[in-house]
Amino acid sequence: MAGRRGASRAGLSVLLLLAGLVGCGGRTAPDTTTAEVQRVLDRRATAVLHRDETAFRATGAAAGAGEGLANLRDVPLAAWSYRLAGLNRSGDRATARAELRYRIEGYDAVPVETDRTLGLIRTGGTWRVTSDRPAGKGGDQLWDEGAVTAVRGRSSLVLGVGQSGERLRSFADLADRAVPAVSEAWGTDWSRRVVVLVPESLEGMAGLLGAPASGYRGIAAVTIGETGGAERGSSRPETGGGPAKAPADRVIVNPDAYGVLGDLGKQVVLTHETTHVATRARTTAATPLWLSEGYADWTGYRGSGRTPGQVAPELGRAVAEGRVPAALPDDEDFGFTADAGALARAYEGGWMACRLIADHWGEVRLNDFYRAVGDHGKRAGAVEGALRDVLHTTPQGFTRLWRQYLRGQLG
């Protein structure tokens, strides 16, 4: 009996000792991994902003840990931060999901936000980054594709990978001419500055967009906003191509398609894309593509002296053959994978519609019409309301006049 009581007391002592180790109420020590990883990402972000290679390397785990910073060295950054959104740990390794927010100095009114996946390893009691890449199917950032070279213009910043300084300067010159041309047409209620990204190839462009290269083979350039979604772009290599704070915009060039354009075509493309940057705050879900693309082409060709027959050859052939479109182009007609001839006719039809408004009602009314459509917010009733309130006509009346205009200008 005495032995059993002694054993019982010994067992009780062990249980009490374990309870003391666990802590009051049985709570376990908190896992500090999330806080530790966030601190590493904060140090990494500070190193990027200060171009501190030593501090940046200290957050990495492998030889070449400073490569990412080297790729960013020429990019004028005003802000760079990570917000940890999720963490999956397995022993001394972890995968983090983080939101990267950054601003380019002098150009971005609000931060660009992009999701990243970071690999980490714990060595010597410290978490270090082993990889930093786009999350899921998200697009690259330009520096993911190589060392970035920056060329500054009067109203532009051109960032390129695998491009000569001379070629990047040519883009800056084109963009510097595009900005005042757009302001003359649209007005000055926009930043009047543009960022142009020039990747090394079509594949690089597709990487930035997070999309297959085949869908952009004939596209000279596109414009994207802060969310990373591609807007429309100039797709014709034979010709070039309620109010809210506008996000950070980027014009992304396809160097393969752009390289085959003539001087006028290159200027039209940059002016077209710069128009998308200028009009973004007034372009909403209510704005049909025939209007946004037609207006961008109208601005691009404004003052060029080109005739309708020169700018709209595909539509001209259709009209000459008696195939006058019965209606303005639908959004679906602007799909990049559509038949090349049909896609060209969609762009040309939108351009002719905007040219008609400028010719018949005046350029001021064209701008008022564009803004009124976007201000409606919802697609249903937006064009109808703007036709009524700004142009004092109806959809049927405008379509009839547009078809007559096609015959008169292209027939």
Q: Does residue 148 lie within any of the structural domains?
A: yes
Residues 298, 405, single domain; the answer is: yes
Q: Are 389 and 311 in contact (CB under 8 A)?
A: no
Are 125 and 145 part of one and the same domain? no
CATH code: domain of residue 257: 3.30.2010.30
At 46, which CATH number?
A: 3.10.450.50
Q: Specify whether the CB–CB gap between 228 and 138 falls below 8 A.
A: yes
Closest by alpha carbon to 386, among 287, 296, 290, 298?
287
Pairwise CA distance, residues 133 & 136, whole Å: 9
- Please identify, among 106, 136, 166, the residue that sits at the C-terminal boundary of a domain: 136
Are 352 and 253 members of one domain? no
Residues 83 and 147 in one domain: no
Inside any domain, residue 124: yes
Residues 247 and 290 in one domain: no
The vertex-300 CA angle with 297 and 301, nearest 5°, equals 90
SS3 172: helix
- Do 130 and 157 belong to one domain? no
pLDDT one-digit tens code per residue, 233-282: 554 433 333 333 445 689 999 999 999 999 999 999 999 999 999 999 99
For the stretch 80-132, pLDDT in tens is 999 999 999 999 999 999 999 999 999 998 899 999 999 999 999 999 999 99
pLDDT at 25: 40
Q: Tell me how crowded residue 6 is: count the other CB atoms within 10 A of its CB.
A: 10
Distance CA 245, CA 329 (A): 29
What's the CA gap between 314 and 296, in Å, rounded? 18
Give percent above pLDDT 70 in the chain: 85
Residues 125 and 192 in one domain: no
Q: Is residue 6 part of a domain?
A: no
pLDDT for residue 27: 43
302 and 404 in a common domain:
yes
Same domain, 330 and 395: yes
Confirm whether 62 is domain-assigned. yes
Same domain flag for 259 and 318: no
Report the C-alpha gap between 169 and 153 in whole angstroms: 8
Backbone angles phi, psi at 23, to 5 degrees: 110, 170
User: In this model, does residue 29 exceed pLDDT 90?
Assistant: no
CA distance 66 to 45: 13
Last residue of a domain, one of 280, 303, 334: 280
* pLDDT score of 340: 85
Any domain includes 87: yes
Give me the half-sphere count of Cα atoms (radius 13 Å) on the Cβ side of residue 77: 22
pTM over 0.95: no
Of the three residues 117, 136, 155, the one that is the final residue of a domain is 136
Q: 352-365 in b/e burial notation, b at 16+ Cβ within 10 A?
A: bbbbbbbeebebeb
In a domain, 367, yes or no: yes
User: Structural domain of residue 301, as residue ranges?
Assistant: 283-411
Statement to judge: residues 240 and 344 lie in one domain = no
Q: Which of 333, 330, 165 is nearest to 235 (CA)?
A: 333
pLDDT in tens, 125-165: 999 999 999 998 889 999 999 999 999 999 999 999 999 99
Place of tokens 């249980």: 15
DSSP state for residue 193 in the 8-state scheme: -
Percent of the chain scoring above 90 in pLDDT: 79
* Separation of alpha carbons 254 and 168, rounded Å: 13
Q: Is there a domain that residue 112 lies in?
A: yes
| Nearest-angstrom CA–CA distance, 306 and 289 | 23
Do 304 and 364 have their domain in common? yes
**Alpha-carbon span 341 to 236, nearest angstrom:** 10
Mean pLDDT, rounded, for 193-214: 95
CA distance 44 to 59: 6
Q: Would you give the DSSP letter of residue 60? A: B
As a residue count, the chain comes to 411
Residue 411 pLDDT: 83
As for how many domains the chain has, the answer is 3
Give domain status of residue 19, yes or no: no
User: Looking at residue 391, what DSSP letter applies?
Assistant: I
